[in-house]
Amino acid sequence: MLYADYNGSAPVSNCVKELLMKKLDQCEYANPNAAHSIGQNLYMEQENCRMTCAKLLGAKSSQIIFNSGSTEGISHIFNSLLLDAKENGKSSLMISSIEHPAVVNNAEYYCQLFGMELITVQTKSNGEIDLEDFKNKLNPNMAMVSIMAANNETGVIQPYCEIGKLCREANVPFLCDTTQLIGKTSFNFNESNIDYAVLSSHKVGGLIGSGLILCQDANNLRPFIIGGNQERSLRGGTQNYIGIASFACALESSIKKLEQLEELKKERINFEKTLKEKFPSLVIFGEDAPRLASTSFLSLPGTSGQKIQAKLEKHGILVTTSSACCDQKTSISRILENMNVSEEQGAGAIRISIGHSNPKEDYAKIYSALCDIYQSL
């Protein structure tokens, strides 16, 4: 099988597989908060992982809160910032029109709960958020801004450093959903102007159910899961130390292999170019915008993305029609709708997202399968 759904979930890295085998072999299972020697060893290991992640992400260890992944991180930050904002009489919050459902649904939930106004920044037809619209709408009475760093469907990279700078000038906290960006391009938290960022381990080759929050100052966060004193009492519950160790190892491996991803980018550009030459009506969403190295979201108008997906699977190639969590829906993707893409173009959309472990020949295989499929329609 040729797996081309890295944006949905990346395969577990080889280094993680080795680590897990070693851990299972060692039989060192304990609560990392226990005072006995195994517990203390695991705690030390966990704190070393925190340091590794911090270094890789351009942050300090004290700026990392381990949790179960991006959805939890996003919910935590919304909860904390919106409770603060309610007390401080703030009346609105702003998100973009291409956010992941974790952001959209939290924003809608808290706006309804606290009677706040939800303001949405428009997206340009190339998938980038409209900065002029953002500047016009941003105001100091906002509880928070939540805008992603890279879109999960199009792979379009947003100008998050600039957004962060504008938020700081307006004194509005900025949550940036970095789930799709980290591990796929370089990133430095303390140079990014972001106040809060989130990440899921399974997007970089770690295990599902593990993730982290990066925060400028953890003292500004309220606790989200109330329990023991783990994670500075901000996120109670026994730490998932195997998940954390796998996360640190996968993150390190994916960041070390960023150069390989850049090599793959050349293949992706060539793949898109040759496919367009063969099928001139083919549309590449976000074509002229800065994009993740290995994401292609494309459509041959008049086709059905779901049918193409099923046919590709028969060729042994696994893709999605939009994001994995919306893949079963028959309507066109909300992201494409908000980029003003027509029904005809949107209906044919398929997302191809690969990673550094794919050999570069994979693009040639996808090209050949797509040519066969499109020509047979």
- 202 vs 311, beta carbon nearer ligand PLP: 202
- 205 vs 303, beta carbon nearer ligand PLP: 205
The three-point CA angle 235-239-241 to 5° equals 145
Residue 177 Cβ vs ligand PLP, minimum distance, rounded to whole Å: 5
Query: From CA 83, how far away is CA 115, in angstroms rounded?
Result: 12
Query: From CA 228, how far away is CA 155, in angstroms rounded?
Result: 38
200-209 core/surface letters (b: 16 or more CB in 10 A; e: else)? bbbbbbbbee
- 43 vs 196, beta carbon nearer ligand PLP: 196
Residue 301 Cβ vs ligand PLP, minimum distance, rounded to whole Å: 26
Q: Do the Cβ atoms of 367 and 354 come closer than 8 Å?
A: no
- 100 vs 268, beta carbon nearer ligand PLP: 100
Which helix (H) or strand (E) covers residue 86, if one does?
helix 70-87
Residue 96 Cβ vs ligand PLP, minimum distance, rounded to whole Å: 11
Reference 297, options 323, 260, 265, 264; nearest CA is: 323
For the record, the structure tokens of 54 come out as 């911090």
Reference 295, options 280, 283, 285, 282; nearest CA is: 285
Q: Which neighbouring-strand residues pair with 284?
A: 298
Q: Which residues bind ligand PLP (CB under 6 A)?
A: 69-71, 100, 102, 148, 152, 177, 179-180, 200, 323
Other CB atoms within 10 Å distance of the CB of residue 186: 9
- 100 vs 356, beta carbon nearer ligand PLP: 100
Residue 87 Cβ vs ligand PLP, minimum distance, rounded to whole Å: 27
- 192 vs 303, beta carbon nearer ligand PLP: 192
Q: Do the Cβ atoms of 315 and 171 come closer than 8 Å?
A: no
Residue 196 Cβ vs ligand PLP, minimum distance, rounded to whole Å: 13
- 179 vs 358, beta carbon nearer ligand PLP: 179
The answer for residues whose C-beta is within 8 angstroms of residue 77's C-beta and 6 or more apart is 144, 175, 196, 198, 213, 215, 221
Residue 336 Cβ vs ligand PLP, minimum distance, rounded to whole Å: 15
Query: From CA 128, how far away is CA 291, in angstroms rounded?
Result: 10
Residue 57 Cβ vs ligand PLP, minimum distance, rounded to whole Å: 16
Residue 265 Cβ vs ligand PLP, minimum distance, rounded to whole Å: 20
Main-chain dihedrals φ then ψ at residue 320, nearest 5 degrees:
-125, 170
For the record, the structure tokens of 166 come out as 């504008």
- 70 vs 303, beta carbon nearer ligand PLP: 70
- 9 vs 304, beta carbon nearer ligand PLP: 9
Residue 107 Cβ vs ligand PLP, minimum distance, rounded to whole Å: 13
Which helix (H) or strand (E) covers residue 372, if one does?
helix 361-375
Query: From CA 201, how far away is CA 67, in angstroms rounded?
Result: 10
